[in-house]
Amino acid sequence: MENQELIKQVTERAQQWLTPAYDAETQAEVKRMLDNPDKTELIECFYRDLEFGTGGLRGIMGAGTNRMNIYVVGAATQGFANYLKKNFKDREQISVAIGYDCRNNSDLFAKKSADIFSANGIKVYLFDDMRPTPEMSFAIRYLGCQAGINLTASHNPREYNGYKAYWEDGAQVLAPHDKGIIDEVGKVKVQDIKFEGNPDLIEIIGADIDKIYWDQVHTICIDPDVIKRQKDLSIVYTPLHGTGMNGIPQSLKLWGFENVHCVPEQMVKSGDFPTVVSPNPENAEALTLAINLAKEIDADIVMASDPDADRVGMACKNDKGEWVLINGNQTCLLFLYYIITNRKKLGKMVGNEFVVKTIVTTEVIRQIAEKNNIEMRDCYTGFKWIAREIRLSEGVKQYIGGGEESYGFLAEDFVRDKDAVSACALLAEICAWAKDNGKTLYEVLMDIYLEYGFSKEYTVNVVKPGKSGAEEIQQMMVNLRQNSPKELAGSKVTLVKDYKTLKQTDAAGKVSDMDMPDTSNVLQFYTEDNTKVSVRPSGTEPKIKFYMEVKGTMKSVADYVEADAAAAKKIEAVRASLGI
C-alpha cells in the first residue's frame, strides 16, 4: 500500500513535466519513465527535490526533480536571485560571479544561470571557460559581488553534476542564507523561471582575473630561496581532465618550478573522464598514469587535482623507492607542519596566528599546534565552516592554514574554499625544502610521526543509494544513538559526542553541553586508548561515513611498518565492533 502511494505521488509530480513549460526532449524522457512498468527509475527521479548539503546541490544528470537539469538548476537560480533581491534590496546593482568545470552540461547550466540572473536585473560576471573553484571564490571577493555559483560535482563520477552557492565573502552559503535560499527555491514554479537573459548585464571574464589570482597565490610562498635552489625539482601533475589545467601548471611556473611534467592524456578537457574510472584523486586508480610517468622520469613528487581543482591528491616514494599514496589526513598534516615550522624558523610569526581542521580530521594536528603554541580550531566538515572561522577573526587574528581529511586544503584567506592551485604550489615548496635538507616527502612524514605521535586513519563509506538507502542511513544513525557502543576493539568508550543535540556524555554518564555554531548529524566516540570514531551521513552523496583514527607507537623510522600493521589490525577490530 505504501509503495502504491509513493508511485501515485511520483506519477503526479512527473506528469507536471509533460506540459509545454518543459522542452520536448525532457517531456519524452519523462514519458518513457511513466510508460515503463518498472517504476524504480521514476521513483528515483521524482521522489524528492534535490537539496543543498555540505557542498550545495549535487545529483545525477537527467530529467526529474531529483536530477540535475536546466529546470532544477533554473529553479535554484531563480530562487537564489529572489533571495538576493530581498537581502540586498537597497543596493543599486547586485552582482554575481559564475564559474564552471569540465563536466558535461556544466557550461550549459552556467550560461542558463547567467541568463536567469541577468533577466532578474542582476549583473553577472561569467568566466569564458572552465576555471578552478577557488578562482571563482576569489573572483567574488575581488569583483565585490554579493554572491556566486559554481557548476561542478567536484570529484563525483561522470554522471553527476552540481551547483555550489556562494555568499559575498567568497564562501559557500551558511545559515541563515542557505535556509533562506532553499525557502525561495521551494516557492519557484517552472513558469516563474526567467530564462530569457539580458546580455547587457552579462560580462565575460577570464585571463584578467587569472593573472591577479595567480599573483595572489604566489604571495603565500614561505621560502622562495629554497625554490631557487631546487627549481629543477621533478614534478608530475595531472588535472584528471579538469580545470586544474587552467591554473596549476601556470602557478607552479610562477613560483619558480621549471621541471613540471603534465600527464598528456589527462590534459584533455573532458566530462567523460576517459582515462579514469572516477576522477577522484583520493583513488589510487586515478593516479595510475601520473605514477607511470613519474617512474619513467624518476620524479620527486606526483600531484593531482580533481575536476574543479579544489582537492589535491599526491604520491611520493617511500624508503624503499616505491611510489605510495599520501592520504588526506597525512596531506593536511604535512601542510600544517610545514607552514608552522617554517614560518617560525623564518621569523614570519607575529603571535596571533591560528589554524583550522575539521572534527573528523587527524588529532595529530592538535599536537603540532599545541607544541608550537599555535591556536587550533575544530569545525564541522565542509570548507564553509573553515571559511566561517576566517571571517570571524578577520582583522584580529591571522589564518595561516586549514584543511580536512578529504584532500582539501586552504593556505590563504583571499579565497574562501579549498584550493588545489595554491596547495599544489605549496606542496612543491615542501618537497623542495625536504630535498634541500636531503630528505623526501615520505621522510618528512616520518619525522612528524616521531615528534608528534603516530596515528592511522581509515574511512569506511557505506553506500546506500536511492530513497530506501536514505531511510537506511537515517535508521543507522538512530540505532547508534539509542545503542551507543560501550567499547571499540576492546577499549572502553569514555566519551560520546552528539553534534545533533550538542551534548557529550562521559564514561560516568555525566552530560555536558558542546560549543558549536550549529547542530549537525554527527556522532563521535572516544576510547581509553585514544581511538576516535566519527560517524556522519554525507551531505552530497548517498553514503554514511565512518572515520576511524587509532594511535600507535614509533620510536624510530624502522618501527613504522610494524606500527602501521598494528594500527590496521586495530581498525579491523573497530570495524567488527561497529558491524561495518
Q: Are 47 and 6 in contact (CB under 8 A)?
A: yes
Residues 6+ apart with CB under 8 A from 429: 221, 222, 223, 226, 227, 255, 338
- Left (φ > 0), alpha (ψ -120 to 50) or beta: where does 438 sit? left
What's the DSSP call for residue 469? H
Query: b or e along 155-167 (b: 16 or more beta carbons within 10 Å of the residue's beta carbon)?
Result: bbebebbbbbbbb
CA distance 301 to 236: 6
Look at residues 232, 274, 333, 271 and name the one whose alpha carbon lies nearest to residue 61.
Answer: 271
CA distance 127 to 207: 9
Look at residues 458, 453, 474 and name the one whose alpha carbon lies nearest to residue 360.
Answer: 458
CA distance 127 to 135: 10
Residue 398 grid cell: 591571522
CA distance 375 to 358: 14
Can you name the residues that pair with 147 across neighbouring β-strands?
96, 167
The C-alpha angle with vertex 138 and arms to 422 and 242, in degrees rounded to 5, equals: 60
Q: Say which of 154, 406, 422, 534 is annotated catalytic.
A: 154
305 included as an active-site residue = no
CA distance 407 to 456: 16
Look at residues 310, 385, 377 and name the one whose alpha carbon lies nearest to residue 137.
Answer: 310
> Pseudo-torsion of CA 54, 123, 82, 145, nearest 10°?
40
Residue 110 grid cell: 552556467
Could you please report the per-residue DSSP string of 529-574?
Answer: T--EEEEEE-SSSSEEEEEEEEEE--SSGGGHHHHHHHHHHHHHHH
Can you name the residues that pair with 368 across neighbouring β-strands?
none
Q: Are 299 and 307 in contact (CB under 8 A)?
A: no
Q: Are 124 and 98 in contact (CB under 8 A)?
A: yes
CA distance 69 to 12: 19
DSSP helix, strand, coil percent of the chain (3-state; round to 5)? 40, 20, 35
Q: Are 312 and 427 in contact (CB under 8 A)?
A: yes
Peptide bond into 176 cis (omega under 30): yes
Active centre residues (catalytic): 154
